[in-house]
Amino acid sequence: MSAVPTDISSVHRKPEDTAAGCRLLASDDRARAEASDSAHMRVRLTSSAATWTIRAELLERLEARRGSIAREAPSDEAGENDNG
């Protein structure tokens, strides 16, 4: 395990690792479902779009929670934790 924390705001994240990316994937699947001639593919793509949307909502909740925890964390101001 790396001692360096992972930067979740990295621009190198995959689309499925961001709420916006998941919403884009959901939109794409909905469009493909509408354009499909196959009933089976319409069902599968509609289901996939719903799953991407749920994932986007989850990621948004996690990000909001992470932000609120960061705001509540005590700041390490100069001299505040000085033991010397």
Say which amino acid occupies 48. Answer: S
Rounded to an integer, the average pLDDT of 61-76 is: 82
pLDDT band at 32, cuts 50/70/90? very high
- What's the confidence (pLDDT) of residue 49? 98
Rounded to an integer, the average pLDDT of 3-27 is: 79
- Rounded Cα–Cα distance for residues 20 and 37 (Å): 28
Q: Mean pLDDT in the chain?
A: 84
Query: Per the structure block, which two tokens stand in for 54?
Result: 């749920």
- Rounded Cα–Cα distance for residues 76 and 82 (Å): 10
Helix axes 19-35, 39-72, angle to 10 degrees: 170
Say which amino acid occupies 52. Answer: W
Rounded to an integer, the average pLDDT of 3-32 is: 82
User: Domain limits of the chain?
Assistant: 15-72
- What's the confidence (pLDDT) of residue 10? 59
User: 81 phi and psi, to 5 degrees?
Assistant: -110, 25
Judge whether residue 61 has pLDDT over 70: yes
